[in-house]
Amino acid sequence: MSLIDLHLHSSASSDGEIPPDELLSLASSSGLCAVSIADHDTTAAYNQVSPGGTHPELIAGVEMTTMLSEKTIHLLGYFIDPFESRLLTALSALEEAKRKQAGMRSAKLRSLGFVFSNEELSQYAQGKLPVGPIFAMAILNNPQNRSDARLIPYRPGGARSTQPYYFFDKDYLQESKPAYCRIERISTTDAVKLLRQINSAPVLAHPGEKFHPERDAGIIAGLKEAGLLGIEVFSSYHDGEQQNGFFNLAKRLGLVATAGSDYHGPKVKPKVHLGDCVGQYKTIDELHGALQKDG
């Protein structure tokens, strides 16, 4: 069977850990025939590797951070030209939004009493802008926070210790959480339309993080009307019930059901392994077909 994983992050991403060429080598040794490096708001990985004729086959992709009402929604784009000017302009704006948000998060987390330095942030971010898991690294590894009872769940043996940096981000920095900092970004609908304008296939990333397959079916149907072509059904975010729900929703709406692990590396999401959530190569053909049919 020809297996694919269409959601990998490289070290070019804000919280990815593995260099692009090494990531492709790992994918090959994992038995994958095709993958997509879909980094957060950047296509810089494609300065290092070229999509197309590699083993495994590399489908050029990106993961855009968008806003749908008050929700932060991740949108995947496939078959992109990584250097298309309209896409790069949009990604540059998202990078600037991330820069502003990082400053706001630093201030908010310190106001909550967490101790960390800018030098620590820079160290863990490795020259990139600090995002949620990076703040978590700086806070959880700073000795001055050792006695903070709020961090007990993320320490060894705690309820959130299996993926402490990931869970701290979810518990403190996302919508409605204590250190959430809202920032203006491109709307999900406009991002869908942009990807279609540049002949790319927009796919809703790990929808179970923010949506329910029944209660929010109308919202996803609205995104389909704007040009959405797929839903990431098989995802490390989804349990069996969610997977079945989104599979049925994709079938009902005529959207392609895609698969991706959202692999970042061994630190940010140690429970997520490359190739954990795989699909069949025919998914790529289905996305191509949907793009041509709607094009």
Tell me the DSSP string of 146-207.
TT-GGGGGGSTTSTTTTSHHHHHHHHHTSTTSTT-------BHHHHHHHHHHTT-EEEE-SG
Tokens of 158: 């705690």
- Residue 74 β-bridge partners: 65
Residue pair 73/210 in contact by the 8 Å Cβ criterion = yes
What φ, ψ does residue 277 adopt, rounded to 5°? Answer: -120, 100
> Residue-wise pLDDT tens for the chain (295 aa)?
699 999 999 999 999 999 999 999 999 999 999 999 999 999 999 999 888 766 799 999 999 999 999 999 999 999 999 999 999 999 999 999 999 999 999 999 999 999 999 999 999 998 899 999 999 999 999 999 999 999 999 999 999 999 999 999 999 999 999 999 999 999 999 999 999 999 999 999 999 999 999 999 999 999 999 999 999 999 999 999 999 999 999 999 999 999 999 999 998 899 998 888 899 999 999 999 999 987 6
What pLDDT does residue 96 have?
A: 97
- Residue 68 β-bridge partners: 71
Residues making up the chain, counted from first to last: 295
Instruction: Collapse the DSSP code of 24 into the 3-class scheme (helix H, G, I; strand E, B; otherwise coil) and give the result.
Output: helix
Instruction: Collapse the DSSP code of 208 into the 3-class scheme (helix H, G, I; strand E, B; otherwise coil) and give the result.
Output: helix
What pLDDT does residue 20 have?
A: 95
Contact partners, residue 100, CB within 8 Å, separation at least 6 = 183
Dihedral sign from CA coordinates of 135, 140, 146, 148 = positive
Domain(s) of CATH 3.20.20.140: residues in the chain: 3-84+186-294
- Residue 34 β-bridge partners: 4, 57
What φ, ψ does residue 15 adopt, rounded to 5°? Answer: -135, 20
What pLDDT does residue 295 have?
A: 65
CATH assignment, 3-84+186-294: 3.20.20.140
**Helices marked H in the chain — which ranges?**
20-29, 85-111, 118-125, 132-140, 164-172, 188-197, 217-226, 240-253, 282-294
What pLDDT does residue 1 have?
A: 63
Tokens of 247: 């599979």
Nearest to 128 by CA among 15, 268, 264, 266: 15
Residue pair 223/250 in contact by the 8 Å Cβ criterion = no
